[in-house]
Amino acid sequence: MAHNPDGGLAGGPDTARGPRPAAAPPPADASETGGGAAAPPHKVRRWPIVLLRTVATVFFVLLLIQPVLAGMFVSGDVDLLQLHEANSFAISITSWFQALAAVLVWRPGRGPVWPTGLAVLLSVAVVMQDGWGYARELQLHIPLGVLLVATSTALVYWSYGHRPGRGGRR
């Protein structure tokens, strides 16, 4: 067998594969083709989903602390009612930051819109929860607290599973 200039053997296994593919030509510049400006590939922004993950996790942890504080208050430590109230204030503020973070995932982050709606609903539910807590409407306050924790769990779970720039809008 003879040697080819590219280092392969003539008549060897490489010849059965056929000719080597040519190198891909460089992409045409919009100014050379006379067409309009070429659309640049969109850059996937990761910081909005990282922000949502952070705020949603803080919100979730604050929510988990609430029933512990309420239970300790019911069992006789009356000073913990003030801590329960202070934590509810932190939850209220964090819920609106979470809604803002979800908007940022949607718009500049090119994510789905439904987490924004869910985060806004969580914020409204927190306002209702505060009102029912101050009014001592426990038959509404406790079930809504359970619903808040469950919904927050779903949002945290989704935020850690979401990969920006991969696939469609889920």
Quick check: 129 and 87 in contact, CB under 8 A? no
Residue 35 falls inside a structural domain = no
Is the residue at 87 inside a domain?
yes
Please name which of 20, 43, 49, 31 lies closest in space to residue 111, comparing C-alpha atoms: 49
Instruction: Work out how many domains the chain is built from and give that number.
Output: 1
Distance separating alpha carbons of residues 111 and 46, to the nearest angstrom: 10
Taking 80 as the threshold, does the pLDDT of residue 27 lie above it?
A: no
- Tell me the residue range of the domain where 137 lies: 47-161
Distance between CA atoms of residues 40 and 116, nearest Å: 27
Q: How confident is the model at residue 164 (pLDDT cuts 50, 70, 90)?
A: confident
What are the pLDDT digits (tens) for 41-95? Answer: 667 789 999 999 999 999 999 999 999 999 998 898 888 999 999 999 999 999 9
Residue 168, in any domain of the structure: no
Q: What residues pair up with 9 in beta bridges, in sequence order?
A: 3
C-alpha 86/C-alpha 80 separation (Å) is 10
Q: Say if 89 falls within a structural domain.
A: yes
| Residues whose CB falls within 8 Å of the CB of residue 69, separated by 6 or more in sequence, listed in order | 80, 83, 84, 87
* 3 is a domain residue: no
Cα pseudo-dihedral 97, 100, 102, 107, rounded to 10: -160
Tell me if 132 sits within 8 A of 141, measured CB to CB.
yes
In the structure, what pLDDT confidence band is assigned to residue 19 with cuts at 50, 70 and 90?
A: low
The SS3 assignment for 47 reads: helix
**Contact status, residue 51 vs residue 109, Cβ threshold 8 Å:** no
Residue 13 lies in a domain: no
| Local structure of 3: helix, strand or coil | strand
Among 113, 89, 91, 94, residue whose Cα is nearest residue 102: 113
The mean pLDDT value for 153-159 works out to 97
Is the residue at 111 inside a domain? yes
In a domain, 1, yes or no: no
